[in-house]
Amino acid sequence: MSITTRILSILQHDSQISMARLSERVGLSLSACHRRVKNLEADGTIEGYGARLNREALGLEIQVFIEVRLASQRQEEISAFEAAIARMPEILECHLVSGELDYLMRVAARNTSDYAELYRTRLSQIPGVSQLKTLMSLSTVKEFRGYHLC
């Protein structure tokens, strides 16, 4: 594993590690390690730093995935849909996918009533949507905790 890969692996699991401790763990001088991290930030490999929050501790008891089919594949319809999604902070993720559906979205909500309200008042009003299918997560077997960096 390269030094850069080791730096990235350590930072994605502990972004609050001190530069001195990071440089020790990867075997670089403090200045060389700091320079590499700054270069990784400058080239966009490291997009930012943040806290990983516990969804349930925040009162967001349910997580749902929503399959979306658009009525049309015209660029205007796609653009309108994507613009509407960008304005909806309730939607945690939205992916354009291949296969039978067009998009897959992820939403967290306090409970089923809150999700039903979101569905009725916001999701069902998204322009160009012909079908929404909600898949309720019953439990999380494995959650994203960082990329696997060999």
Task: Give me the domains of the chain, ranges plus CATH numbers.
Answer: 3-42 (1.10.10.10), 56-136 (3.30.70.920)
- The Cβ of residue 21 has, within 10 Å, a number of other Cβ atoms equal to 13
Q: Are 69 and 81 in contact (CB under 8 A)?
A: no
Is the pLDDT reported for residue 1 higher than 90? no
- Grouping H, G, I as helix, E, B as strand and the rest as coil, residue 105 is strand
pLDDT single digits (tens) 67-92 = 999 999 999 999 999 999 999 999 99
- pLDDT value, residue 90: 95
* pTM, to two decimals: 0.86
CA-based torsion, 125, 100, 137, 88: positive or negative: negative
- pLDDT value, residue 150: 74
